[in-house]
């Protein structure tokens, strides 16, 4: 079978799958999970035809896919994939560009540059900033935090690239007691040491309490959050950032999903975030682009470009080449689906989608409150944090809902007790889907 026929087969199967995302079980049933055994083959000696490989992937794999690209997946703020972004990925696969720099791929470098400009505009972050398109908020946090430490060390006269950390002045990191695990992971990988992190206590809503902030100086990186993972809350940027930067510290913001509130009428709690030094934000969550697409954004573009530089005699490039702004050297053009999503939605479309999800989250919270659930957060954006009458009932309802397969959402722990978290972030979620979710949860509460 030639290239084109195999691709047409894949496209037909993909279209068939997409046709069913509104009606499929959201999490695969036991039969579909058991069938995954069919993948447990020996490594073939001579190889199978592409058609048979695709057929196995589709017949066994599609049935066992979690329908996060559907309207009734409410776990983990994952979002679905907008058609324009997914289609751009499909074309990119045909190009198979190594999108390191203009020399490797003029088209990728050009489109990603436009995407970077649009991202700074729609998120209203400093227009002079650099944007690296990386695999995830985790990877982008590693890039930003390494630029942060390298810059603070340079200000103390320490050459991190040459001398490393041995004997270097200590750079401290301050994180909220509710910092996302991947920010802790990034700091751990970079050698900050979890026992040496300074912890900033949070208030009842999950925001850092400025009155309890540990001491900060010009050898400190403060990590703030735009969108706490349970509550969706924002740290008090205006109260914190000017004073922290005046002390010479570096402010990094994890805005994996919450930074998108800035593109909508939900912007007020994000005010002041633009004064930070660096930000991470995902495309693959609330912008609804395919995985993996995230951004490392740095006010001082040179700081990111120097930290991430990978120029070699055989591969020199401009400082804003993506290989010099991200962890990757060979890379897919992650900015292209992000560009395609922004181009298809426009500023208004992004704002409308974010606003719609926030409205749906508020309406869902109201319905659940009316059914006797406790809503544990203020529902400032798209997260609804829920508890039933007892811990046992909370867990039982979540398990029963998952088993039904009509929707999916995950567990969490809030202030030491079980809860569940409903994240509204798929472009496919209609008001009827919210109504169906609320009705199911009301039924389960009465059962
Ligand atoms: C608040 C927050 N920060 C960081 C991350 C990590 O993002 P990623 O999965 O893209 O690494 C997530 C999501 O999983 C998140 O919700």
User: Which residues lie across from 134 on neighbouring strands?
Assistant: 294
The domain containing residue 99 runs over which residues?
87-341
Verify that 207 and 230 share a domain, yes or no.
yes
Statement to judge: residues 94 and 28 lie in one domain: no
Indicate if ligand 1 lies below 6 Å from the C-beta of 289. no
Do residue 145 and residue 251 come from a single domain?
yes
Last residue of a domain, one of 315, 341, 367: 341
Domain check: are 48 and 157 in the same one? no
CATH number for 291 = 3.40.640.10
Say which DSSP state 243 is in: H
CA–CA gap between residue 164 and residue 101 (Å, rounded): 27
For residue 332, tell me if it sits in a domain: yes
Domain check: are 186 and 230 in the same one?
Answer: yes
| 294 close to ligand 1 (CB < 6 Angstrom) | yes
| Exposure letters 81-113 (e unless 16+ CB within 10 A, then b) | bbebbbebbeebeeeebbbbbbebbeebbebbb
Query: Which pLDDT score is estimated for 173?
Result: 98
DSSP state of 212: G
Domain contains 436: yes
The answer, yes or no, to whether any atom of ligand 1 lies below 6 A from the CB of 282, is yes
pLDDT in the model for residue 62? 98
Tell me how far apart the terminal alpha carbons of the chain are, to the nearest angstrom.
54
In the chain, how many H helices and how many E strands? 13, 11
What CA–CA distance (Å, rounded) separates 428 from 82? 9
Q: In angstroms, what is the span from residue 135 Cα to ligand 1's centroid? A: 11
Q: Is 226 within the bounds of a domain?
A: yes
Q: Output the CA 140–ligand 1 centroid distance in Å.
A: 10
Task: Tell me if 263 CB under 6 Å of ligand 1.
Answer: no
Are residues 394 and 430 both part of a single domain? yes
| Domain limit, last residue, from 297, 319, 341 | 341
Atom of ligand 1 nearest to the CA of 282: 10
Question: Strand pairing of 172-176 and 198-200?
Answer: parallel
Residue 389 Cα to ligand 1 midpoint, Å, equals: 30
Helix or strand holding residue 438 (H, E): helix 431-446
- pLDDT at position 1, please? 57
CB-CB contact of 209 with 235 (8 Å): no
Q: Are residues 181 and 311 in the same domain?
A: yes
Find the 77 Cα to ligand 1 centroid distance in Å.
Answer: 9
Residues 270 and 165 in one domain: yes
Q: Hey, what are 430's tokens? A: 């209609």
Sequence-ordered list of residues with C-beta below 8 angstroms from that of 354, at least 6 positions apart, any chain: 260, 261, 263, 264, 266, 286, 381, 382
Ligand 1 center to 383 CA (angstroms): 14
Find out whether 82 and 352 touch, Cβ atoms under 8 Å.
no
Ligand 1 atom index nearest CA of 227: 1
Structure tokens at 246: 């005046």
In ligand 1, the atom with minimum distance to the C-alpha of 294 is 10
Ramachandran angles phi, psi of 42, nearest 5° = -75, 150
Ligand 1 lined by 182 (C-beta under 6 Å) = yes
Read off the pTM.
0.97
220 lines ligand 1 (CB under 6 A): no
The structure tokens listed for 11 are 């496209």
Q: Answer yes or no: do 25 and 108 share one domain.
A: no
Nearest CA to ligand 1 atom 4: 256
- Residue 74 within a domain: no
Same domain, 28 and 156: no
| Residue 54: cis peptide before it, omega within 30 degrees of 0 | no
From the CA of 137, how far away is ligand 1's center (Å)? 6
Q: What is the CATH number of the domain that holds 439?
A: 3.90.1150.170
**Is 44 in contact with 89 (CB distance < 8 Å)?**
no
CB 224 within 8 A of CB 252: yes
Nearest C-alpha to atom 7 of ligand 1 is from which residue? 137
| Helix, strand, coil percent content, the chain, rounded in steps of 5 | 45, 15, 40
Centre of ligand 1 to C-alpha 399, Å, is: 24
Asked whether residue 110 is domain-assigned, the answer is yes
CA of 139 to the centre of ligand 1 (A): 10
| Angle of CA points 169, 224, 242, to nearest 5° | 80
Residue 292 in any domain: the answer is yes
> What is the tally of structural domains in the chain?
3
**Residue from 133, 257, 279 whose mutation best tests the ligand 1 pocket (most atoms within 8 A of CB):** 257
Q: From the alpha carbon of 138, which atom of ligand 1 is closest?
A: 11
Q: What burial class does residue 314 get, using C-beta atoms within 10 Å of its C-beta: 0-12 exposed, 13-18 middle, 19+ buried?
A: exposed
Nearest-atom number in ligand 1 for the CA of 77 is 16
Q: Is 137 in the pocket of ligand 1 (CB under 6 A)?
A: yes
- Asked if residue 421 has its Cβ within 6 Å of ligand 1, the reply is no
- CB-ligand 1 contact for 77 (6 Å cutoff): yes
Q: Do both 287 and 250 map to the same domain?
A: yes
If you take atom 3 of ligand 1, which residue's CA is the nearest one?
256
Q: Is the CB of 256 under 6 A from ligand 1?
A: yes
E strand map for 186-344: 198-200, 220-225, 250-254, 278-282, 294-298
Q: Quick check: CB of 180 below 6 Å from ligand 1?
A: yes
Low-confidence residues in the chain, pLDDT < 50: none
Let me know whether 327 and 356 are in one domain: no
Q: Considering the domain boundaries, does residue 79 fall inside one?
A: no
Q: Is 346 part of a structural domain of the chain?
A: no
Q: How many C-beta neighbours within 10 Å does residue 12 have?
A: 11
Q: Which of 310, 341, 372 is the last residue of a domain?
A: 341
Does residue 281's CB lie within 6 angstroms of at least one atom of ligand 1?
A: no
């Amino acid at each position: 079978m030639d290239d084109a026929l195999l691709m047409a087969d894949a496209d037909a199967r993909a279209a068939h799958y997409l046709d069913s995302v509104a009606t499929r079980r959201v999490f695969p049933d036991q039969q579909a999970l058991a069938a995954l055994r069919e993948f447990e083959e020996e490594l073939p000696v001579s190889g199978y035809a592409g058609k048979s490989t695709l057929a196995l992937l589709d017949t066994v794999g599609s049935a066992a896919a979690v329908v996060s690209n559907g309207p009734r997946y409410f776990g983990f703020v994952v979002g679905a994939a907008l058609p324009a972004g997914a289609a751009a990925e499909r074309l990119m696969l045909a190009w198979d560009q190594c999108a390191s720099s203009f020399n490797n791929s003029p088209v990728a470098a050009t489109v990603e540059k436009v995407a970077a400009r649009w991202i700074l505009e729609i998120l209203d972050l400093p227009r002079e900033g650099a944007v690296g398109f990386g695999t995830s908020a985790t990877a982008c946090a590693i890039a930003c935090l390494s630029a942060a430490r390298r810059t603070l060390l340079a200000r103390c006269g320490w050459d991190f690239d040459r001398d490393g950390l041995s004997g270097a002045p200590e750079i401290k990191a301050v994180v909220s007691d509710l910092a996302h695990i991947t920010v802790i992971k990034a700091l751990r990988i970079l050698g900050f040491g979890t026992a040496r992190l300074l912890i900033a206590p949070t208030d009842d809503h999950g925001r850092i309490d400025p009155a309890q902030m540990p001491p900060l100086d010009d050898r400190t990186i403060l990590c703030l959050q735009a969108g706490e993972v349970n509550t969706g809350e924002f740290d008090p940027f205006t109260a914190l950032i000017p004073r922290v930067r005046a002390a010479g510290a570096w402010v990094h913001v994890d805005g994996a999903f919450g930074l998108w509130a800035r593109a909508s009428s939900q912007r007020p709690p994000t005010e002041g975030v633009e004064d930070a030094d660096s930000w991470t934000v995902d495309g693959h969550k609330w912008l609804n682009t395919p995985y993996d697409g995230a951004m490392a954004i740095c006010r001082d573009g040179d700081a990111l470009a120097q930290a991430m530089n990978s120029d070699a005699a055989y591969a020199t490039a401009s400082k804003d080449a993506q290989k010099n702004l991200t962890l990757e050297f060979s890379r897919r053009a992650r900015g292209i689906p992000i560009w395609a999503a922004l181009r298809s939605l426009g500023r208004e479309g992004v704002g409308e989608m974010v606003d719609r999800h926030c409205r749906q989250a508020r309406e869902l919270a109201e319905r659940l409150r009316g059914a006797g659930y406790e809503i544990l957060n203020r529902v400032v954006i798209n997260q609804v944090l829920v508890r039933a009458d007892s811990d046992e009932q909370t867990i039982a309802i979540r398990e029963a809902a998952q088993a039904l397969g009509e929707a999916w959402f995950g567990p969490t722990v809030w202030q030491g007790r079980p809860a569940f978290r409903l994240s509204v972030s798929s472009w496919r979620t209609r008001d009827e889907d919210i109504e169906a979710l609320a009705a199911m949860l009301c039924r389960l509460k009465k059962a």
